[in-house]
A and B are shown apart, each in its own frame.
Chain A
Amino acid sequence: MWALLALALLFAITVWESWNAMTRSLSATVDTDIAGLVDIYATSGEAELLARMEDRSTLVSLDGRQARYMAVRPDGTMLGGNIDEWPSLGASLSEEGYLTLADGTDVFARATSLSPDLDLMVARSYEHDWNALMRLVALFTAAAGLIVLATWLVGRSAMQRLRRRIDRISAALRAAEHGREADLPDSQYDDEIGELATLSSTSILRAANLARTHRHMSDHIAHEIRTPLTHLDSKLVNTMRQLPEGTDPAIIDKCREDIRGVVTMLDSLLDIASSEARVGDLAGLEEVDISSLAADLAELYSGSAEEEGISLRTYIKPGVMMMGEPMQLTRLISNLLDNALKYVPRGGQVMLSVSDGPVIEVSDDGPGVEPELRPMVFERFRAGNGHNGKTSHGLGLALARAIALRHGMTIALQDSAKGAHFVIKPHALWGGKDAEA
Chain B
Amino acid sequence: MKLLYVEDNADAAADLTALLAREGSQVVWEMRGTDGLRRAAMEEFDAIILDRMLPDMDGLQIVERLRESGVDAPVLMLSALGRSSNRVEGLDAGVDDYMAKPYEPEELQARLKALVRRAEGRTHSAIIIYGQFECHVKARTAFRGNQHIALSPKEFELFRYFMENAGETVTRDMLLRDVWKMNFDPQTNVVDVNIGRLRRKLEQGFETPALETIWGTGYRLTRGE
Contact with A along B182-223 (1 / 0, CB 8 A): 111011111001101100000000000000000000000000
B129 CB–A CB distance under 8 Å = no
A230:B186 contact, CB within 8 angstroms: no
B65 CB–A CB distance under 8 Å = no
State whether A233 and B190 are in contact (beta carbons under 8 Å apart), knowing that A223-B53, A226-B80 are contacts in the complex: no
B180:A227 contact, CB within 8 angstroms: no
Which of these, B16, B80, B197, contacts A227 with CB under 8 Å? B80
Q: From residue 264 to 289 of chain A, which have CB atoms closer than 8 A to chain B?
A: 267, 270-271, 274
Q: Roughly how many angstroms separate A227 CA and B186 CA in the complex, as a whole number?
A: 23
The interface residues of chain A lying within 8 Å CB-to-CB of B183 are 327
B190:A219 contact, CB within 8 angstroms: no
A337 CB–B CB distance under 8 Å = yes
A353 CB–B CB distance under 8 Å = no
The interface residues of chain B lying within 8 Å CB-to-CB of A271 are 83-85
Q: From residue 5 to 25 of chain B, which have CB atoms closer than 8 A to chain A?
A: 9, 11-12, 15-16, 19
A404 to chain B, nearest CB (A): 16
Interface size band for A: 35 or more
Q: Which of B26-34, B35-43, B99-107, B119-127 contacts A (4 or more CB under 8 A)?
A: B99-107
Interface centre among A260, A267, A337, A390 (most CB of B within 10 A): A267
B22, closest chain A residue (CB): A241
Which of these, B84, B100, B188, B194, contacts A226 with CB under 8 Å? B100
Which of these, B12, B53, B154, B196, contacts A299 with CB under 8 Å? B154
B194:A300 contact, CB within 8 angstroms: yes
B101:A230 contact, CB within 8 angstroms: yes
A331:B184 contact, CB within 8 angstroms: yes
Contact with A along B52-90 (1 / 0, CB 8 A): 010000000000000000000000000011111100100
Q: Roughly how many angstroms separate A235 CA and B105 CA in the complex, as a whole number?
A: 12
A229:B190 contact, CB within 8 angstroms: no
B179, closest chain A residue (CB): A300
Q: From residue 223 to 256 of chain A, which have CB atoms closer than 8 A to chain B?
A: 223, 225-227, 229-235, 237-238
Q: Which of A16-24, A198-206, A301-309, A373-381 contacts B (4 or more CB under 8 A)?
A: A301-309
A236, closest chain B residue (CB): B102
The interface residues of chain B lying within 8 Å CB-to-CB of A231 are 9, 11-12, 15
B179 to chain A, nearest CB (A): 9
State whether A331 and B187 are in contact (beta carbons under 8 Å apart), knowing that A231-B11, A299-B154, A303-B193 are contacts in the complex: no
A226:B102 contact, CB within 8 angstroms: yes
Interface centre among A226, A235, A303, A304 (most CB of B within 10 A): A303
A224, closest chain B residue (CB): B80
A300, closest chain B residue (CB): B190
Which of these, B100, B182, B187, B194, contacts A327 with CB under 8 Å? B182
A346 to chain B, nearest CB (A): 15
B53, closest chain A residue (CB): A223
The interface residues of chain A lying within 8 Å CB-to-CB of B82 are 222, 226, 263, 267
A301, closest chain B residue (CB): B190
The interface residues of chain A lying within 8 Å CB-to-CB of B182 are 327, 330, 334
A229, closest chain B residue (CB): B102
B184, closest chain A residue (CB): A331
Q: Roughly how many angstroms separate A123 CA and B19 CA in the complex, as a whole number?
A: 126
Interface centre among B16, B85, B102 (most CB of A within 10 A): B102
A306, closest chain B residue (CB): B193
A48 CB–B CB distance under 8 Å = no
B102:A263 contact, CB within 8 angstroms: yes
A205 to chain B, nearest CB (A): 22
Q: From residue 316 to 351 of chain A, which have CB atoms closer than 8 A to chain B?
A: 327-328, 330-331, 334-335, 337-338, 341-342
The interface residues of chain A lying within 8 Å CB-to-CB of B19 are 234, 237
The interface residues of chain B lying within 8 Å CB-to-CB of A225 are 80
A34 to chain B, nearest CB (A): 103
B5 to chain A, nearest CB (A): 14
A187 CB–B CB distance under 8 Å = no
B188:A337 contact, CB within 8 angstroms: yes
A40 CB–B CB distance under 8 Å = no
Which of these, B53, B101, B102, B188, contacts A301 with CB under 8 Å? B188
B151 to chain A, nearest CB (A): 13
The interface residues of chain B lying within 8 Å CB-to-CB of A334 are 182, 184, 186
The interface residues of chain B lying within 8 Å CB-to-CB of A238 are 15
State whether A237 and B105 are in contact (beta carbons under 8 Å apart), knowing that A301-B190, A327-B184 are contacts in the complex: yes
The interface residues of chain A lying within 8 Å CB-to-CB of B186 are 334, 337-338
State whether A233 and B102 are in contact (beta carbons under 8 Å apart), knowing that A226-B82, A392-B187 are contacts in the complex: yes
A345 to chain B, nearest CB (A): 15
Interface positions of A (Cβ within 8 A of B): 219, 222-223, 225-227, 229-235, 237-238, 259-260, 263, 267, 270-271, 274, 296, 299-301, 303-304, 307, 327-328, 330-331, 334-335, 337-338, 341-342, 390, 392, 396
Interface positions of B (Cβ within 8 A of A): 9, 11-12, 15-16, 19, 53, 80-85, 88, 100-103, 105, 154, 180, 182-184, 186-190, 193-194, 196-197
20 contacts between A and B (CB under 8 A): A222-B82, A225-B80, A230-B80, A231-B11, A231-B12, A263-B100, A267-B83, A271-B84, A299-B154, A300-B154, A300-B180, A301-B188, A303-B197, A304-B188, A327-B84, A327-B88, A331-B84, A335-B187, A342-B188, A392-B187
Other CB < 8 Å A-B pairs besides A233-B102, A330-B182, A335-B187, 12 of them? A219-B81, A222-B80, A223-B53, A223-B81, A226-B82, A234-B12, A234-B19, A270-B83, A271-B85, A300-B190, A327-B182, A392-B187
